[in-house]
Amino acid sequence: MNAVETWERTLEADGELTSDAVEQIIDTHDDRGVRAIEAVSEERVKQYRDFTVVVGHSEEYVIEDDGCSCEDSRYNLDPEDPTALCWHVIAAKIARRIDAVDHHDMWYSEVREFL
């Protein structure tokens, strides 16, 4: 079991973001983990009918199958390393496991037209 699976199991068992889970996430992901935890606490993880979206400071990032539309994912992370995740994916994983996703009963593609 890798470090991501470990903190995911901790979150699932506790059902909330405990200090133990926070420590595991930050130990595994450093600043990316901190940013992800902040995004979850600020309710910036949105679930639409077609995508999960994490609202960043200047853009929204689409999360699909633990992949992300951000430049960090495309250029900086090793696709062979299961612990190398951008903060958007980490935030989505956290929010899903503690039921902190903001659900919207609409298609993101429709919402995107207004942004």
- Could you tell me the mean pLDDT of each successive run of 10 residues in the chain, 115 residues long? 95 95 97 98 95 92 92 92 96 97 88 64
| pTM strictly above 0.85 | yes
Q: Tell me: the pLDDT tens digits for 36-64?
A: 999 999 999 999 998 899 999 889 999 99
* Nearest residue to 111 (alpha-carbon basis) of 51, 64, 44, 63: 51
Every domain of the chain and the residues it spans: 3-112
Q: Are 111 and 54 in contact (CB under 8 A)?
A: no
Q: Are 98 and 11 in contact (CB under 8 A)?
A: yes
